[in-house]
């Protein structure tokens, strides 16, 4: 029996054996909210949730006129979260079981994670000592660009833009500090992190320095409905204009991966890891009003030395609208350029049109997109994607 199968069976067994049935409360929530287990003394709680995404991708090479396609399980996730001891201590564990989650060029099967499948996405304890201030310890998404902070379950298109694929900070192991300040109707969110700098599930010793990340968000018109500043479309159909402006900066001291926290490990001809200091600047804004949404981002990464790291500049802009019946349309443009001929990133532009049907919000939806990828030094591509999301 494979390790993945054993782990799933063990996790499910623990859910039902963790306390006697007579001494616990079991609450089955509405769709997308999982199943909650909690003992009578409320000393802890455990919420079990799962989701998966199926995906079809078809690509037409406009130069060779060759069509290729594939169908796959894009994501398959199992999530556990709740409180322990008191509601000031919140934990979150998220596991990924699709091949794209566990084994790709920058994830599982690397010597840096002991050549194993990379199952653990999130494993973090959040402590709330006072007010809206939280301390996070463990592995979680770093406070980078907004498109990456929006869960892949709740994005407006089938997948994120080229800006996120090239410049997002992704997950890392470390400590984070998060706080929210309110000044009348104005909200300011502050986030900071100190992390190892090599990304998730790394088992080897840290070859360089640490990564230092900071992010600030300004919401001048108050709070979004249903955390709408971290979702793509305006499913809540905001009655008043809502705006969030964000800025983030990351300094990765002695990075050894092409994109800092992700990407390929960079080696010299003699087989030694190359260390490089990376600075990443990320700016974004999102606005929503009565089903309409607009989202824009800018990213720039620079390195101290030109040695094959993912340096360059990208920007992205999208517009979308959702009707009350759950049908949505959206368009997006993104562009990536590099200033360094040694950059590991490819220069290209991306034009995408998307349609969505939200049957039960983001818990049951079907999305499709058609995109034109205009490469500078590669063949141009027409891409069609169809995607279905199910979350319990």
Gyration radius of the chain over CA positions: 21
Q: Indicate the number of domains in the chain.
A: 1
Domain hosting 375: range is: 3-391
Coil/strand/helix, residue 110: coil
Q: Rounded to an integer, what distance in angstroms lies between the CA atom of residue 197 and that of residue 166? A: 16
Task: Provide, rounded to the nearest whole percent, the portion of the chain with pLDDT above 70.
Answer: 92
- 340 confidence band (pLDDT: 50, 70, 90): confident
Could you tell me the CATH number of the domain that includes residue 140? Answer: 2.40.160.10
Task: Note whether 53 and 152 are within 8 A (CB).
Answer: yes
What's the pLDDT tens digit per position in 82-128? Answer: 999 999 999 999 999 998 888 665 556 677 877 777 889 999 999 99
Give residue-wise pLDDT tens across range 267-314. Answer: 988 989 999 999 999 999 999 999 999 999 999 999 998 888 999 999
Task: Answer yes or no: is pLDDT of 6 > 60.
Answer: no
Q: Using CA atoms, how far apart are residues 128 and 367, in angstroms rounded to an integer?
A: 37
What average pLDDT does the segment 140-154 reach? Answer: 97
Q: What is the pLDDT of residue 13?
A: 53
Tell me the pLDDT of the chain averaged across its residues.
91
pLDDT, residue 19, reads 46
Rounded Cα distance between 199 and 185, Å, is 37
What's the pTM? 0.91
């Amino acid at each position: 029996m494979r390790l993945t199968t054993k782990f799933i069976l063990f996790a499910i067994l623990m859910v039902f054996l963790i306390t006697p049935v007579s001494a616990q409360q079991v609450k089955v929530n509405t769709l997308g909210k999982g199943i909650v287990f909690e003992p009578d003394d409320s000393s802890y709680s455990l919420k079990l949730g799962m989701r998966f995404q199926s995906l079809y991708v078809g690509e037409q090479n406009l130069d060779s006129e060759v069509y290729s396609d594939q169908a796959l399980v894009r994501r398959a996730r199992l999530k556990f979260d709740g409180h322990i001891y008191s509601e000031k201590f919140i934990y979150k564990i998220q596991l990924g079981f699709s091949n794209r989650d566990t084994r790709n060029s920058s994830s599982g099967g690397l010597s840096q994670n002991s050549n194993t499948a990379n199952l653990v996405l999130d494993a973090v304890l959040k402590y709330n000592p006072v007010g809206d201030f939280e301390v996070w310890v463990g592995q979680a998404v770093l406070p980078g660009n907004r498109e990456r902070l929006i869960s892949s379950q709740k994005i407006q298109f089938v997948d994120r833009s080229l800006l996120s694929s090239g410049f997002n900070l992704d997950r890392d192991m470390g400590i984070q500090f998060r706080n929210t300040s309110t000044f009348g109707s104005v909200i300011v969110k502050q986030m900071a992190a100190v992390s190892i700098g090599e990304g998730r599930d790394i088992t080897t010793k840290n070859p360089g320095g640490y990564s230092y990340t900071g992010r600030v968000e300004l919401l001048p018109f108050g709070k979004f409905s249903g955390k709408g500043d971290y979702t793509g479309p305006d499913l809540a159909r905001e009655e008043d204009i809502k705006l969030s402006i964000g800025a983030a900066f990351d300094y990765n001291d002695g990075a050894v991966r092409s994109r800092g926290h992700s990407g390929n490990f960079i080696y010299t001809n003699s087989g030694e890891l190359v260390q490089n200091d990376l600075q990443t600047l990320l700016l974004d804004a999102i606005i929503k009003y009565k089903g309409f949404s607009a989202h824009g981002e800018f990213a720039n990464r620079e390195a101290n030395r030109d040695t094959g790291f993912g340096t360059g500049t990208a920007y992205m802009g999208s517009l979308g609208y959702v009707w009350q019946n759950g049908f949505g349309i959206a368009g997006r443009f993104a562009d990536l350029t590099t200033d360094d001929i040694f950059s590991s990133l490819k220069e290209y532009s991306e034009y995408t049109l998307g349609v969505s049907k939200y049957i039960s919000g983001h818990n049951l939806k079907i999305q499709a997109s058609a995109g034109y990828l205009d490469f500078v030094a590669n063949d141009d591509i027409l891409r069609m994607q169809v995607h279905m999301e199910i979350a319990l």
